[in-house]
Amino acid sequence: MDLQPNKGKNLIIEVTGRRFARYPVKTKLITPKDKDISAIIEEYAKKYLQPKDILFISEKAVAIIQGRSYPIQEIKAGQLAIFLSRFVKKTPIGIGLGSPATMQLAIEEVGVVRILAASVCGFIGKIFGVKGLFYIVAGSKARSIDGAVPYAIPPYNTHVSKGPLHADKVAQQIADKIATLVAIVDANDFGVNILGASKGVDKKLVAKIIQDNPLGQSDEQTPIGIIRLVE
């Protein structure tokens, strides 16, 4: 197998007393013109798969193909989005909902009422030193929104994106085509969320196995990975 770990990432991780390899798979630049993520997987990843492997896919790759990634200049943020984005804490890995554009996408995804409720809970949480209440209340759709970051591969360094639609269904469709367990993941250097998975996938185990984000956080161009139990 000629796949190698991304720079700064370990190939092997030990979880629950077992050792797992995480192989990143490099692909071409994925765009909305691709239409079908399964075709990308069949072309670039299928040849490496072995029985009992788990294939994991970046949620952003699926979102791009679904047409849910947008040039930031095309996002028309409302006054509420502009106001609320001022109070979101920025992190070293990105701005999250701390820009008018990403906050506008969050409002579109989960609605004004839920975003306002999340904002109130987040404010109360800050008073009492409790972190993360905003995203707990806003939900996974808000958490999976990605902002424009300079280290992303162009043109996506100037794009914002929503999370993929029907992630469980997409994962199952892929699994049926390639006869391998599949997970769609939202991973960065601060944490992992499993947005969708085919039947039989242990989501908690997958999250632990890729906890250090082996796909990378920059321009690696490895939106697909393979998890394999190492004997």
| pLDDT tens-place string over residues 63-97 | 999 999 999 999 999 999 999 999 887 665 566 89
The amino acid that residue 84 corresponds to is: L
pLDDT bin (cut points 50, 70, 90) of residue 151 is confident
Q: Are 147 and 77 members of one domain?
A: yes
**Interatomic CA distance for residues 28 and 58, integer angstroms:** 14
The reply to whether 92 falls in a domain is yes
The tokens of 193 are what?
Answer: 């969320």
Listed residues 133, 160, 187: the one ending a domain? 160
The per-residue pLDDT for range 29-54, each reduced to its tens digit, is 999 999 899 999 999 999 999 999 99
pLDDT bin (cut points 50, 70, 90) of residue 217 is confident
Domain span at residue 177? 12-68+163-230
Contacts of 32 (CB under 8 A, 6+ apart): 64, 65, 66, 67, 69
C-alpha 94: how far from its chain's center?
A: 13
Q: Are 62 and 168 members of one domain?
A: yes
Confidence (pLDDT) at 190:
66
The predicted model scores a pTM of 0.92
Domain of residue 220, CATH code: 3.30.1330.100
Confidence (pLDDT) at 40:
96
| Residue 102 in this model has a pLDDT that exceeds 70 | yes
Q: How confident is the prediction for the chain on average, in pLDDT?
A: 93
The reply to whether 51 falls in a domain is yes
Domain count within the chain:
2
Percent pLDDT > 70 in the chain is: 96
Confidence (pLDDT) at 149:
87
The reply to whether 7 falls in a domain is no
